[in-house]
Amino acid sequence: MVLDSAGIGEMPDAASWGDAGSDTIGNILKSRKVNLPNLQQLGLGNIRPLQDLPAIENLIGNYGKCTLKSNGKDTTTGHWEMAGIILKKAFPTFPEGFPPRIIDEFVAQSRVPGVLGNVPASGTEIIKQLGEEHLKTGKPIVYTSADSVFQIAAHEEIVPIDRLYEMCEIARKILDGEDKVGRVIARPFIGANAENFKRTENRHDYAVPPPRENLLIELSEKGLDVVCIGKVASIYDSMGVTQELTAKNNEQTINVTIQAFNDDTKGLIFTNLVDFDMLYGHRRDVEGYAKALEHFDSRLPEIYDSMNDDDLLIITADHGNDPTQKGSDHTREYTPLLVFGKNAKQGVNLGTRQSLSDIGQTIAENFGVKLLDGVSFLNEI
């Protein structure tokens, strides 16, 4: 389970990324007393000193933190690293918007009258700001974020879904080479005006396919189940995914994960809780992030109850997104590592792992395969 963006303190190179002092979980816990008794029992407070969350003995879980070894701090980079893929070069981002050479080519090939936006923005905010102009002009809204993404928003009654998907496919082909962003995303919406515009569930992601040497493909080719929940399948361009389950927010994601535990499958359940990043990190909503952590913590006993005796729960993050920092960018941080199983050891300090790929290698070893990168901690637990 990936708590999207829930970093646990700056990496040694954070300053070179503009992220000195970043500490997503640490700074949220400094904002007020955050009630996380179940995460504390897993060992969250044992990873490092945290305000009002002391280390305890008699843990039910095992704990450590993971280094982000790849060159980047975005969704794709973090998730790919968990599957054993180490990126030497970061996916490109466009904090000033996309240059004319990209936009002009997109307009020409897509046969649109121009674009609106072309700035980093929150998806919900930009349709409030530009949605009515889009209705009048028919120009699609193009925007990006702290992630390496090219997003196209359009009203479903102005730009039919198939046409929006066609635009995204064109953008995906244009964005290659030095401009190869991690994902192109269709963001359709409905509504009559800025007061009631609402994004629909017809979102579609066009990701860069990952290298074939990764955990998901290794497992699926061995005949194991790879069940992806939320946005996980799109991050891997669905390669190696045997079942994709829809979940649009943390509450749905937890519910669907519990259902997946109860299904007759053997292999990997891979879940992303997107609200931490999308709703609270990027919007610098400290209190919202704190409440989301408390909500997740309150649901942990239900997750435990749904687990079989031979199931193993691994909780981590893909990067940081400290809501106390300026701007709305991701932050270059270690990620927490919490591991629980009814038949696993308890209270093991797993230390500072050399990479998020250690998670993938642990899963790989359990199922008799091996990744190119990662140091398994299976024997330790």
How confident is the model over 157-194, as pLDDT tens digits? 999 999 999 999 999 999 999 999 999 999 999 999 99
Give the pLDDT confidence score for residue 280 in this predicted structure: 95
- In terms of Cα–Cα distance, which of 36, 28, 52 is closest to 281? 28
Integer Cα distance of 153 and 141 in angstroms? 5
- For CATH 3.30.70.1250, list the domain ranges present in the chain: 100-207
Backbone angles phi, psi at 287, to 5 degrees: -65, -40
Superfamily of the domain at 2-90+209-366: Alkaline Phosphatase, subunit A (3.40.720.10)
CA distances (Å), origin 129, targets 122, 146, 156, 187: 10, 19, 17, 15
Check: CB of residue 340 under 8 Å from CB of residue 42. yes
Integer Cα distance of 296 and 374 in angstroms? 28
Show the tokens assigned to 127.
Answer: 């349709």
Give the pLDDT confidence score for residue 120 in this predicted structure: 92
Instruction: For the full predicted model, state whether its pTM sits above 0.75.
Output: yes
| Furthest CA-CA distance within the chain | 64
Give the pLDDT confidence score for residue 359 in this predicted structure: 98
> For the ranges 187-191, 303-307, 326-330, which has the lowest average pLDDT?
326-330
The length of the chain is 381
Give the pLDDT confidence score for residue 329 in this predicted structure: 87
Backbone angles phi, psi at 201, to 5 degrees: -85, 10
- Chain centroid to Cα 3, Å, comes to 7
Give the β-pairing of 141-144 and 149-155: antiparallel
Give the pLDDT confidence score for residue 147 in this predicted structure: 80
Per-residue pLDDT at 90 exceeds 90: no
CA distances (Å), origin 120, targets 117, 197, 284: 8, 19, 15
Task: Assign 145 a pLDDT band (cuts: 50, 70, 90).
Answer: confident
Helix (H, G, I), strand (E, B) or coil at 2: strand
Give the pLDDT confidence score for residue 116 in this predicted structure: 98
Task: Assign 146 a pLDDT band (cuts: 50, 70, 90).
Answer: confident
Give the pLDDT confidence score for residue 220 in this predicted structure: 98
Superfamily of the domain at 100-207: Phosphopentomutase (3.30.70.1250)
H or E stretch at 118:
strand 116-120
- For CATH 3.40.720.10, list the domain ranges present in the chain: 2-90+209-366
Check: CB of residue 322 under 8 Å from CB of residue 333. yes
Backbone angles phi, psi at 261, to 5 degrees: -60, -35
Residue range 24-53: average pLDDT? 98
DSSP 208: P
Give the pLDDT confidence score for residue 124 in this predicted structure: 86
Backbone angles phi, psi at 319, to 5 degrees: 180, -175
- In terms of Cα–Cα distance, which of 117, 283, 275, 124 is closest to 199? 124
Cα 308–Cα 255–Cα 37 angle in degrees, nearest 5: 75
> For the ranges 75-89, 198-212, 226-240, 366-380, which has the lowest average pLDDT?
198-212
CA distances (Å), origin 135, targets 116, 120, 159, 193, 344: 11, 21, 10, 9, 56
Helix (H, G, I), strand (E, B) or coil at 209: coil
- Chain centroid to Cα 330, Å, comes to 11
Integer Cα distance of 41 and 221 in angstroms? 36
Percent of the chain whose pLDDT exceeds 90: 93
Residue range 262-282: average pLDDT? 95
